[in-house]
A and B are shown apart, each in its own frame.
Chain A
Amino acid sequence: MPDVKFTVDGKQLTAPAGTFLIEACKTNGIEVPAFCYYPGISLKAACRMCVVRIEKMPKLQTACTTPVSEGMVVQTETPEIAQARKATLQLLLGNHPLDCPVCDAGGECELQDMTFKYGAAESFYAEPKHHREEQKWSPVVYYDRPRCILCYRCISMCGEGMDVFALGIQARGSSSVIAPNVPAQMSPDDLAHVDCEQCGMCIDACPVGALTSGTYRYKTRPWEMNHVSTVCTHCGDGCKTTLGVRSTSDGSEIVRGDNRDKSGINNDFLCNKGRYAFDFANNETRITQPLVRQPNGELKPVSWETAFDHVGKKLRELRDTRGGKSIGVIGSNRTTNEEAYLLQKFARTVLGTNNIDHHRTADYVSFAQSLAGNTDRTASLRDTLTASAILLVGGDPTIQAPGTAWNIRTNVRNHRGRLYVANSAEIKLRRQAKSFLHLAPFGYSALASYFAGDAAAGSEAVGDTDALTTFREAIKAEENLLILIGSELRGKDLKKLIDFGLTLPGAKFALISDYANSRGAADMGLLPDLLPGYTPLAGNTTFAEYNTPAAPGLDMIEIFEAAERGDLSALYVVGSNPVSRYGIDPASLKDTFVVVQDMFLTETAVLADVILPAANLYEKSGSVTNSYGDLQLVSKAGDRAGVRTDFEMIVRIADKMGANMRELIPFGKGTRADMGQSRGVHSGEADRHAVWLAANNMEPKLSPFDPFAILDEIQRLVPGYNLLRLQLLSGNDQHLQPAASSNGLVQIGSRRDLVLPANDTLFTSGTLGRYSTMLSDLQHNESLRPPTGLTQIQPAAD
Chain B
Amino acid sequence: MPTLVSHPDEVKVVSRRFGQGAADIDKYVELDGYKAVQEAIAKGPEWIINEMKASGLRGRGGAGFPTGMKWSFVPKQSEKPKYVLVNGDESEPGTCKDHVLFLHDPHSVIEGTMIAGLAIGSKLGFIYLRGEYRYLLKIVEKAVADAYAKGFLGKNIFGTGVDFDVITQTGAGAYEVGEESALMESLEGKRGVPRIKPPFPAVVGLYGGPTVINNAETIANAPHILLMGGEAYAKLGSERNGGTRLFGISGHVERPGVYELPMGYSLRKAIYDVAGGIKDGKKLKAIVPGGSSCPVMLPEEIDVGLDFDQMGKAGTMLGSGGIVVLDETVSIVEFALRTIAFYQHESCGWCIPCREGTDWIKKTLTRVYNGGGNKKDVDNVQYLAENMLGRTFCPLGDAAAMPTIAFVKKFRKEFEDYIAGNKAGTPIITVEQLVGAH
B347 near A172 with CB under 8 A, answer yes
Most buried by B among A45, A49, A65: A45
Residue contact A43 to B196, C-beta cutoff 8 Å: yes
Interface of A is mostly: loop
Contacts of B357 in A (CB 8 A): 91
Roughly how many angstroms separate A476 CA and B198 CA in the complex, as a whole number? 38
* Chain A min CB distance to B396 (Å): 10
Stretch from A120-128, A184-192, A619-627 at the B interface? A120-128
Residue pair B393, A173 in contact (C-beta under 8 Å): no
**Is the CB of A84 closer than 8 A to any CB of chain B?**
yes
Give the chain A neighbours of B358 by CB distance below 8 A: 173-174
* B352 neighbours in A (Cβ, 8 Å): 46-49, 88, 91-92, 149-150
Does residue B367 face the partner (Cβ distance < 8 Å to A)?
Answer: yes
Near A by CB (< 8 A), chain B positions 319-342 give none
Within 8 A of B (CB), among A46-78: 46-49, 51, 58-60, 65
Contacts of B367 in A (CB 8 A): 126-127
A95's nearest neighbour on chain B, judged by CB, is B356
A730 contacts B by Cβ under 8 Å: no
Q: Interface size on B (CB < 8 Å)? A: 32
Known: A83-B387, A84-B387, A169-B191. A91 touches B360 (CB 8 A): yes
B419 vs chain A, min Cβ distance (A): 13
* Contact between chains at B351 and A125 (CB < 8 Å): no
Q: Which residues of chain B are near A46, meaning CB under 8 Å?
A: 350-352, 393
Q: Tell me the complex Cα distance, A149–B351, Å.
A: 10
- Separation of A126 and B370 alpha carbons in the complex (Å): 14
Q: In the bound complex, do residue B392 and residue A48 qualify as a contact, i.e. CB atoms below 8 Å apart? A: yes
B391 within 8 A of A: yes
Which residues of A are found within 8 Å of B387, using beta-carbon distances? 83-84, 87-88
Q: Is A176 an interface residue (CB 8 A)?
A: yes
Tell me if B174 is interfacial: C-beta within 8 Å of chain A.
yes
- Residue A94 lies at the interface, judged by CB distance under 8 Å to chain B: yes
Of all chain B residues, the one with the shortest Cβ separation from A151 is B352
In the complex, what distance in Å separates the CA atom of A45 from the CA atom of B347? 16
- For A51, give its contact among B196, B350, B363, B391 (CB under 8 Å): B391
Instruction: Judge whether A45 and B349 touch: CB under 8 Å.
Output: no
| B193 nearest CB neighbor, chain A only | A169
Rounded to whole Å, the gap between the CB of B361 and the closest CB of chain A is 10
How far is B99's CA from A419's CA once the two chains are assembled, in angstroms?
Answer: 51
A390 to B351, CA, bound (A): 38
Tell me whether A173 and B383 are in contact (CB under 8 A): no
Q: Convert B386-428 into 0s and 1s, putting 1 for each residue whose CB lies closer than 8 angstroms to a CB of A.
A: 0100111100000000000000000000000000000000000
Let me know if B356 and A94 touch, CB within 8 A: yes
Q: Name the one of B355, B356, B363, B390 contacting A59, with C-beta atoms under 8 angstroms.
A: B390
Report the count of interface residues on A (CB-CB < 8 A). Answer: 33
A175 within 8 A of B: yes
Which of B349, B360, B384 makes the CB contact (< 8 A) with A150? B349
Q: Are B345 and A94 in contact (CB under 8 A)?
A: no
User: Within 8 Å CB of A173, what residues of B?
Assistant: 344-349, 355, 358-359
Report the bound CA distance from A65 to B198 in whole Å.
9
> Which chain A residue has the least Cβ–Cβ distance from B376?
A124
Determine if A176 and B349 form an interchain contact, defined as CB atoms under 8 angstroms apart. yes
Across-interface contacts of B372 in A (CB, < 8 A): 126
B380, A174: Cβ atoms closer than 8 Å: no
CA distance A49 to B392 in the complex (A): 11
Residues on B with C-beta less than 8 A from A174 are 344, 347, 349, 355-356, 358-359
Are A175 and B349 touching (Cβ within 8 A)?
A: yes
Chain B residue contacts of A58, Cβ below 8 A: 390
Among residues of A, the one whose C-beta sits closest to the C-beta of B176 is A172
Q: Is the CB of A84 within 8 A of B391?
A: yes
Identity of the chain A residue whose Cβ is nearest the Cβ of B381 in the assembled complex: A124
Closest to B356 in A: A91
A125 pairs with B363, CB closer than 8 A: yes
Contacts of B376 in A (CB 8 A): 124
Query: Which residues of B are found within 8 Å of A48, using beta-carbon distances?
Result: 351-353, 391-393
Hey, what's the 0/1 contact readout for A126-159 against B, CB within 8 Å counting as 1?
A: 1100000000000000000000011000000000
Question: Is B113's beta carbon under 8 Å from chain A?
Answer: no
Instruction: Name the A residues within 8 Å of B345 (CB-CB).
Output: 173
Complex CA distance for A569 and B193, rounded to whole angstroms: 73
Q: How far is the CA of A174 from the CA of B345 in the complex (A)?
A: 8
**Distance (Å) between the CB of B392 and the closest chain A CB?**
7
Complex Cα spacing A126 to B368, Å: 11
Question: Which among B191, B356, B359, B393 is the interface contact of A45 at CB below 8 angstroms?
Answer: B393
- Given A124-B380, A172-B174 in contact, is the A65-B391 Cβ separation under 8 Å? no
Interface contact A60-B196, CB-CB below 8 Å: no
Whether, in the assembled complex, B364 has its beta carbon less than 8 Å from a beta carbon of chain A, the answer is yes
Closest residue of chain A to B394, judged by CB?
A45
Against A, the Cβ 8 Å flags (1 = close, 0 = not) of B203-242 are: 0000000000000000000000000000000000000000
CB distance from B236 to the nearest CB of A (A): 31
Q: How far is the CA of A650 from the CA of B350 in the complex (A)?
A: 60
- Nearest B residue (CB) for A88: B352
Q: Least Cβ distance of A194 to chain B in Å?
A: 19
For the complex, give the distance between the alpha carbons of A6 and B355 in Å. Answer: 34
Q: 5 shortest A-B CB distances, which residue pairs? A: A87-B387, A91-B356, A176-B349, A174-B359, A173-B347
A-B contacts, 16 listed (Cβ < 8 Å): A46-B350, A46-B351, A46-B352, A47-B352, A48-B393, A87-B383, A91-B356, A91-B357, A124-B383, A126-B367, A127-B363, A149-B352, A150-B349, A173-B359, A174-B344, A175-B349
Given contacts A172-B174, A173-B359, list 18 more A-B pairs with CB under 8 A.
A44-B350, A48-B391, A51-B391, A59-B390, A87-B353, A88-B353, A88-B387, A91-B352, A92-B356, A95-B356, A125-B363, A127-B360, A127-B367, A149-B352, A150-B349, A171-B349, A172-B349, A173-B355
